[in-house]
Every structure is written in C-alpha cells, then in structure tokens.
Amino acid sequence: MDAGYPQFIERSARLACSLVPSRTLTILLALIVVQSLLLLWYCNLPPVLFWPAVPCVLLYGIFELRALQRTRGVLATRERRWFWRAGGAEGNEEREFVFRGELVLWSWLLVINGRDLRGKRLRLVLARDSMDGEDWRRLQAALRYSRQGGWHSDSLR
C-alpha cells in the first residue's frame, strides 16, 4: 500500500434543511400560557398580585412566540462545519457556528445550542413538523455523529 495514501478517507455529509416555525411548539406554548393564567386565577390571589402577574405571563408568551418564529431559515452542514441562515433568503448572511452546551435529541424534539464565530448565541428549538420527514431523519443522524466531543445518551428520549 502506498505510504502517502490515507488508509481511511473520512466522509463528510452535506445537509441543507429548510426550517419553518413548528405548529406543535406554538400550540404547546399557547397551552402553557393558558395553564399559567388558569393557575393564577384558581390560586385566588389578591387583585394587587393577580393583575400584575397576568401581563407578565402574556409578555412571556409573546417573547417565546417571537423566538419560535425566528426558527425560519436553513440549517446546513458541509465539511464537518455547521451553518445557519436565518429567514432562508439569499440575502441573509450564513453564520457558521459551533456547538455549545447541551444538545437534546428526542424522537420529536431537537434543541441545538451553539455560538457563531463572533460569539453570538444561537439556539434552535425544533419539533418534527419544522421540516419534512426525510430532512428530520438526516438531521438527527448528522447531529448524533458530527458533534465534537460526542453526544450523551442521557440526552436521547
């Protein structure tokens, strides 16, 4: 065998998934807000505590809904590097990112935490209905096998 030829040629998968906001996560968020408001109501709080708490719950819901809506874009990998382009439009800048923190890989939910090369935080919360089924399967496989440092089985459910 030629000494200059590598014995093992590493393959690098190329992936590009178009993401849309998840209806499942939007419905779950709405249920959380309704449940929180009902809890406040049934606790029989005095009005001086109840009425200030209601806008706090609603603001939380709006904040989280806006975060869910920002998951529209393209998540891609090539040459063992990960990229995010918000909005999916050609004019938006593609940001390379590295994984930071916990990676959640459940059968119906993915949570990707990362930082781009400028240090800006990136968090993607994706449900199965955020993309088509084949992209979902390929993304889960790519996340399992390409994260530096490996993945932890306690993150799988």
Write the pLDDT tens digit of every residue in 81-126.
Answer: 999 999 855 557 899 999 998 899 999 999 999 999 999 999 999 9
Sign of CA dihedral 91, 95, 101, 106: positive
Q: Do the domain assignments include residue 47? A: yes
Q: List, for residues 74-91, the tens digit of each pLDDT value.
A: 999 988 899 999 985 555
In a domain, 5, yes or no: no
Q: End of a domain among 38, 69, 100?
A: 69
Six-digit token pair at 144? 């399992």
Do 127 and 75 have their domain in common? yes
Q: Is 104 exposed, middle or buried (0-12, 13-18, 19+ CB in 10 A)?
A: middle
Q: State yes or no: pLDDT of 9 exceeds 80.
A: no
Last residue of one domain, picked from the residues 10, 42, 69: 69
| 47 lies in the same domain as 101 | no
Q: Can you give the pTM of this predicted structure?
A: 0.78
- Counting the structural domains of the chain, the total is 2
